[in-house]
Amino acid sequence: MNFDLTDEQDQLRDAVRALGRRYGHSYFVSKAKAGEHTTELWHEAGRLGYLGVNIPTEYGGGGGGITELALVCEELAAAGCPLLLLVVSPAIAATVINKHGTEEQRKRHLPGLADGSQKIVFAITEPDAGSNFHRLGTVARRDGDDWLLSGRKVYISGVDEADHVLVVARTEDASSGKLKPALFIVPTDAPGLEKSKLDMEILSPENQFLLYLDDVRLPADALVGESLDAGLPALFAGLNPERITVAAMGAGTGRYAIEKASDYTTTRKVWGGRPIGSHQGVAHPLAHAAVQVELARLMIHKAATLYDAGRDLEAGVAGNMAKYAAGEAAALAVDTAVQALGGAGMTTEYGVATLLGAVRAGRIAPVSREMILNFVAQHVLGQDKSY
């Protein structure tokens, strides 16, 4: 068991940290409040190769794995720039296309995903079904050589800044008559695809959308993979990377909050000339939050290592645990930081309350803490399924 990063991973971590700090949380907040995107940071990260660290070298990537991408997600978040589309585009879309797409799909999309010139977002959640793919109402049906997609999707991140959306639908299996999942790469300007921006109480430069698909016509090669049999494995291919990178982003956000609070409490003096951090009522909650963040980081490292080793079942358990731990730890860290800073914690200047909405959402999405507990109870503890 090795807890040390390789020299290359150390160099990647340090380089991404330096990039994130050059932009910083004030950049992130200013973009979000202006209704703009973090385009400059995204393009620079792409040019430097950080967006494609998990993409094979033959398609312009760094040839690493989810371990490396998790480092990128964590360090940018630790600099105050938690970029949600890192999870959606390089982690989910690139992994699905690389593992289960056709060679033509890999050549068409992976180089752009690697250098940041292309973004592909992900659409599974629906108003009625949530992310339960057994109940998805979005259906794809054949029309000659083409496909027609109809349905609705909700809470779809970044549609306004993406070239394509990876849509999870259901198709009818001709042999059994049953519906089975399939994934389609859909241009965001396709006729019949409409988007409606959702008003969210989260300060973020990335927007959320409701999507309407009304007989969106797609060519045969929009289907991910060589056949419909690729649908289910392609869907599951993106879930573990999603959970691991979301967890990494949460851990980085927790680190950022604790660092901001620690800097403040070691210099803020109110009673008798002593810094407020010398009082246990201030120091102990911060120390507790720091412990929780570090524990989450260990589970993230374990999950990423298992995933990159091809141990998918074990990575699924560890990835869910990592996402749970990081979601709880990030929410605790930001809330504790706000409390330690007092009134200053609620100001934009000090940059911690600006993350309250995001870390609260991290306990809900992409899978809620309750569903993770259901998963652990059933698959780790051997309990009967409760839902």
- Residue 111: predicted pLDDT: 98
Beta bridge partners of 276: none
Span 259-274, pLDDT tens digits: 999 999 999 998 788 9
CB 88 within 8 A of CB 121: yes
- Residue 130: predicted pLDDT: 73
Q: In terms of DSSP bridges, do strands 120-123 and 164-172 run parallel, antiparallel, or are they unpaired?
A: parallel
- At residue 214, what is the residue type? D
Structure-token pair, residue 282 = 């201030």
Residue 174 has pLDDT above 70, yes or no: no
Res. 39 pLDDT band, cuts 50 70 90: very high
Count Cβ atoms below 10 Å from residue 169 Cβ, excluding itself. 28
Structure-token pair, residue 142 = 């054949």
Q: For the chain, what is the mean pLDDT?
A: 95
Count Cβ atoms below 10 Å from residue 55 Cβ, excluding itself. 27
Mean pLDDT of 179-185: 91
Residue 91 has pLDDT above 90, yes or no: yes
Residue 186 has pLDDT above 80, yes or no: yes
Residue 173 has pLDDT above 90, yes or no: no
Q: What is the reported pTM? A: 0.96
Structure-token pair, residue 219 = 């060519």
Lowest-pLDDT range, 149-153, 226-230, 252-256, 369-373? Answer: 226-230
In the chain, the percentage of residues whose pLDDT exceeds 70 is 98
Span 316-339, pLDDT tens digits: 999 999 999 999 999 999 999 999
Span 303-313, pLDDT tens digits: 999 999 999 99
Count Cβ atoms below 10 Å from residue 245 Cβ, excluding itself. 31
Span 352-383, pLDDT tens digits: 999 999 999 999 999 999 999 999 999 999 99
CB 82 within 8 A of CB 358: yes
Mean pLDDT of 241-259: 98
- Residue 9: predicted pLDDT: 97
Span 52-76, pLDDT tens digits: 999 999 999 999 999 999 999 999 9
- Residue 175: predicted pLDDT: 57
